[in-house]
Amino acid sequence: MSTRRWAATVAAAVLTAGLITHPGPSAAAPPDTDSPAIELAAGQTALIRFRLPDEAAFRDLVTSGADIAARPRTTPGQVMADVVVSADELAALRARGATALRVIPSGAATTRLAPQTRAAADTLTFLQAYWWTTGGRTFLQTQVATTATDDPDVEITVTWTTADGTTGTYSLFRFEDSGEYQYHVALPQPLPAQPVQVTAASSLGGRSRAITPQLWPGATPPPLPSGYQKDFIDAYMSPTDINARIRRLARQHPDLVDVINLPNRTQGYRRTATAYLGDPAAAAVVVESVKFGDQGMNGVQVRSVDPGRPNRPLSATYRDRVLTVSLATDAAGKVISTTDDVAAFLTARYPQRFRAFVEDGSAGLPMPVAGPVTLDDGLDGTEVPKRPWTVQALRIGKVRDGSKIGVLAYSQEHAREWATPLVTLEFAERLLANYATDAATRELVDEVDVFVIPTVNPDGANYSFHDFNFQRKNLVNHCTGAARDPRYQDTWGVDVNRNYAVGSLFDGYVGASTNCLSGVYAGTGELSEAESRNVVALAEAHPNIKYSMNVHSYGGYFMWSPGAYKAEGRITLPRPSIDEQKYFLDSARRIVGAIATERGTVTWPSYTGPVADVLYSAAGNSADHLYYDLGITAWNFEVGNDRWNEATQEWEGVGFQPPFDEAHAESQEYASGLVELLRVARDRAAGQG
């Protein structure tokens, strides 16, 4: 399939993400009021930025397994969340006091709460004070902790001073997580020049020491030589495109590349075939094939008939791909079968071929004479092979015998994050294309054993490309009973990045769900899914792997463990040692510096740190598994940083499937970050890290 087609697909996807059914005053509505024009029809889904009433509401969202895409801190004093919602979920969130601000992508709101003062003294400490310059604009970001941790109303103001004596102030907002005070923070603030001093003052009378802000990230990678080749990405890529790219790279560079077939084949882009027998708005039974639709079950017909004679039992025949259900009658010849009768009968009569259940709302109703209806799996990607998928990894290096330090980069655990395989493939291409001509690249490829899994979740990715662009999970449907109703087909599947075995839901950690319809469904058990087992299998099979990067989108984060905590007391997985935390931060600054070289994108210091602190608790994520169980220095990217809009003076989010130009830019900058990760690994192997 032409890769160019994806550009059109993306444009359509972005448009359908709009989903604003009637244009109204919303576009001009004040940013802190609900936009009533944001409405979803039944069956529609959108990524919407919400303002929540309080931190407890965010906590409830996490606990309930909501599909939280990001947690923007774009509005001082307000709790925001970007959430993928259906029409029902949108209504439920509003009923719980959430305000639907806008459909992503779009600008961010800024509203400040009036400061309140109290009489009591506190002590203030700067946790972070960093500045940087990008695109001719200087920014300052600060985090301050107050000792008045329990006072929700304490207001902290930061005053900055530049070398020529210019000063200014801005307010911080209180950041709580899981009900516990963390610190006060603000978005990066535009400044006229480099700040030379910052101080903080609180409404309780506390004052901080004067601090000299540090340059962030304060690290610059070595310059690229002239003739360095990059930009190998010209469109979004489906799993089929990605496989073709893997094959080409192996063909072009046989001395430097192995292709590894990961051991656990996925289910494939497949689904059982279903149909409603009857009218789901009145009375219906869902009939489902036991095998997948592509295994001869698509097109099978089902009907229910009145036998036209009295005292007939409920019976059925299956002949010539037509399932005929003959309903029971009474002595007067009246049909007496119920929906429950028919569902139970079919499941018992054809255990190898069909199962049936009562449509939600049709329980105990008379079974209608209906059909014929046609079973179908509903999958629209007609060109996608309907068979289990072999997930592949590229192994790149001059010495691939396990004697060199290994680095693993893996992407697209989440199907809808279309920019992420572009990052890892661009990275792989750069290593191979420049090996012959660039001595620095050659040194890295000679000294490091690189593993790349461009798409961990190809089945979900196929579904995201062809059927439902918001698909996050894989395609394995573990639901039972009425949750298998095809109306839920876009919410089935397991969240691969909640299915790992450390700090999992099953261990009592927060941020995953037991509900098979949840966006963060953890699966039936730890490592129940082929996709997660593949990542672990690759890492376990190659104990020389000492670093990993789990590439997700979006939001612009650089994160490490702990990535999960238990709700009660917010007890995280064990913290890395002080020395290790310093190493993580120092390495992160190098990699953030490399990302910034492409177009000036600076990952914020407040978004650089442990997952559980800067984003949310993600029970059962892969990086925690690799770090705690396998001793790998396991990091996470969320590519797709917010962009500064000079005209509006606001930061704006980019979303999962931005216009291709943005995704392309993300691939370039984060590939540079991965190359720097190789330098970090090489330095450790050489005893310099």
Q: Which parts of this chain interact with Zn ion (CB under 5 A)?
A: 414, 552
Reference 455, options 232, 672, 266; nearest CA is 266
For 462, other C-beta atoms within 10 Å of its C-beta total 26
- Residue 447 or 613: the one with the smaller Cβ distance to Zn ion is 613
The H-or-E segment that residue 681 falls in is helix 660-685
Q: Tell the smallest beta-carbon distance from residue 417 to Zn ion (Å).
A: 5
Reference 368, options 310, 303, 319, 417; nearest CA is 303
- Residue 356 or 623: the one with the smaller Cβ distance to Zn ion is 623
Q: Tell the smallest beta-carbon distance from residue 89 to Zn ion (Å).
A: 19
Reference 451, options 533, 535, 561; nearest CA is 535
What is the spatial distance between Cα 268 and Cα 250, in angstroms, rounded to a whole number?
A: 24
Q: Tell the smallest beta-carbon distance from residue 522 to Zn ion (Å).
A: 15
- Residue 238 or 550: the one with the smaller Cβ distance to Zn ion is 550
According to DSSP H, which parts of 362-438 are helical? Answer: 419-433
Q: Tell the smallest beta-carbon distance from residue 552 to Zn ion (Å).
A: 3
Reference 342, options 322, 359, 320, 318; nearest CA is 359
- Residue 84 or 250: the one with the smaller Cβ distance to Zn ion is 84
What is the spatial distance between Cα 588 and Cα 633, in angstroms, rounded to a whole number?
A: 12
- Euclidean distance between the first and the last CA atom of the chain, given in angstroms as a whole number: 45
Length of the chain in residues, anyone?
689
- Residue 151 or 666: the one with the smaller Cβ distance to Zn ion is 666
- Residue 99 or 657: the one with the smaller Cβ distance to Zn ion is 657
- Residue 271 or 416: the one with the smaller Cβ distance to Zn ion is 416
What is the spatial distance between Cα 163 and Cα 62, in angstroms, rounded to a whole number?
A: 44
Q: Tell the smallest beta-carbon distance from residue 639 to Zn ion (Å).
A: 10
Q: Tell the smallest beta-carbon distance from residue 200 to Zn ion (Å).
A: 34
- Residue 460 or 486: the one with the smaller Cβ distance to Zn ion is 460
- Residue 100 or 415: the one with the smaller Cβ distance to Zn ion is 415
Measured over the CA atoms of residue 230, residue 232, residue 234 and residue 235, the dihedral's sign is: negative
Determine the Cα angle at 390 with ends 387 and 391, to 5°: 135
**201, two tokens:** 């003052």
What is the spatial distance between Cα 249 and Cα 452, in angstroms, rounded to a whole number?
A: 12
Q: Collapsing DSSP states into helix, strand and coil, what is residue 644?
A: strand
Q: Which residues contact 193 (CB under 8 A, 6 or more apart)?
A: 138, 162, 163, 164, 166
**640, two tokens:** 């797709």
- Residue 498 or 552: the one with the smaller Cβ distance to Zn ion is 552
Q: Tell the smallest beta-carbon distance from residue 32 to Zn ion (Å).
A: 29
The H-or-E segment that residue 176 falls in is strand 173-177
Q: Tell the smallest beta-carbon distance from residue 416 to Zn ion (Å).
A: 8
Q: Tell the smallest beta-carbon distance from residue 499 to Zn ion (Å).
A: 13
DSSP state of 506: G
Q: Tell the smallest beta-carbon distance from residue 497 to Zn ion (Å).
A: 6
Q: Do residues 539 and 533 lie in contact, with contact meaning Cβ atoms separated by under 8 Å?
A: no
Reference 409, options 594, 246, 550; nearest CA is 550
